[in-house]
Chain A
């Protein structure tokens, strides 16, 4: 195994590596898991933090997710997507589960008022790494409604009816803007799947 990479390093080049590492993790390889941790902990924690905001809750959920990666590595199927996508899908779902749980409901209510500001903040913090720069450029290439719908849903953790309410736009419109915007993002990023 090569040297451990920093978590912020773009995944694209090392996707196949990570897939292989995860199959080693599935067989109980602890060293492989440590490398997987080093590669994924940054984005896993960053994403959860973006959605939940609260650092200690985010750390707790990130820990659950990373342990889940260890525990269910055998369920990862390279035929269905990359290891990074698999892990980050789990991370986002767990963050969303937390957002939509009853305990979080009250604080979310208070936050929704400042939601449009969050969009800017998200765009502002998308930086630093090349990957982030690429994502930012591609986000900039979307229409404003596409970009806002996608960032509110994904980074903000809002359901699409909530996004529709926040943007004061018809449900059906949001639905198609999210889908069209994602298709454009996908093509802009040259995502392989």
Chain B
């Protein structure tokens, strides 16, 4: 399909909607209009083909903006991928109803993707390391809370490199005032020391617990509650057992995405 002449358009509302194909492909439609157009798109093959061509055209505009990405980005992305479970392929029968690209943030889908069985999620995240039934039960309750943060509609992810190496990752839900913290590649500590997690507000530091020992280089996810919007998350090295306030310079301080 080339040019506009060959496009088969309906009459009335359909024609009006069809004219939005360009604006839609550039993400220049707002809320209600976008929803209406997407509904129209599912029924209009000519529109779908046109949008596909426009999307490829927009991608060419994007390629033209390429610049050298910041130096730390690659290491953080690869480290975050290392601890991020991938979504399963969509095997829905109604394929057309499930567009390949959706607008919602990925984190909620992380939890949705691992599905109804929280156990699969917990195992994938390395939460369950207990062997006795009792510890398994509490680990499961804990993993449910973690899954709930990951499933929160407002969940956002951030990651940072620490000053001693390794990457820390936090998924925060401000609605739930909770965050899930994990890390990869932190150097192991002698038994006399621990990594301690902090919620750093303006002029205050609240302990969010000690990081459990890493397994396979990854810290099992830690849940922190009572998160405030202006909190940052920091990690310090402290004497075994932890302290009530930080005694060393944080190896990392992360600003939480809003």
Contact = CB atoms under 8 A, between A and B. Distances in A.
B39 interface: no
Contact of A88 (B2, B59, B89): B59
B74 interface: yes
B119 interface: no
Contacts of A186: 53-54, 56-57
A70 B28 contact: no
Contact of B103 (A85, A93, A132, A157): A93
B66 interface: yes
Interface stretch (B77-85, B196-204, B214-222): B77-85
A64 B30 contact: no
A93 B27 contact: yes
B60 A189 contact: yes
Nearest to B21: A179
Contacts of A91: 62
28 contacts: A8-B66, A10-B63, A28-B86, A30-B81, A33-B78, A41-B69, A42-B66, A47-B65, A49-B65, A55-B70, A67-B80, A67-B81, A71-B85, A71-B109, A72-B106, A73-B86, A74-B89, A129-B63, A129-B66, A131-B63, A153-B26, A172-B19, A179-B22, A183-B4, A185-B61, A189-B57, A191-B53, A193-B56
Nearest to B82: A30
Given A92-B26, A178-B28, 17 more contacts: A8-B67, A8-B68, A26-B89, A43-B62, A64-B157, A70-B84, A71-B110, A89-B59, A89-B101, A93-B101, A97-B103, A100-B30, A103-B258, A159-B29, A160-B29, A179-B23, A193-B56
Interface in A43-86: 43-47, 49-50, 55, 59-60, 62-64, 66-68, 70-77, 80-82, 84-86
Contacts, number: 236
A187 B2 contact: yes
Contacts of B54: 182-183, 186
Contacts of B88: 74
A92 B101 contact: no
A142 to B, nearest CB: 12
Contacts of B251: none
B158 interface: yes
B103 A181 contact: no
Interface residues of B, number: 62
Interface residues of A, number: 87
B65 A179 contact: no
Nearest to A79: B100
A86 B102 CA distance: 11
Given A154-B26, A159-B29, A179-B19, A7 B69 contact: yes
Interface of B: 2-4, 19-23, 25-30, 49, 52-70, 73-74, 76-78, 80-82, 84-90, 100-101, 103, 105-106, 109-110, 156-159, 257-258
A75 to B, nearest CB: 5
B70 A45 contact: yes
A21 interface: no
Given A75-B100, A154-B61, A89 B55 contact: yes
Nearest to A38: B74
Of B26, B49, B53, B109, which is in contact with the most chain A CB atoms at under 10 Å from its CB? B26
Nearest to B4: A183
Contacts of A7: 66, 68-69
Contact of B86 (A64, A71, A77, A191): A71
A115 interface: no
A131 B65 contact: no
A26 B86 contact: yes
A135 interface: yes
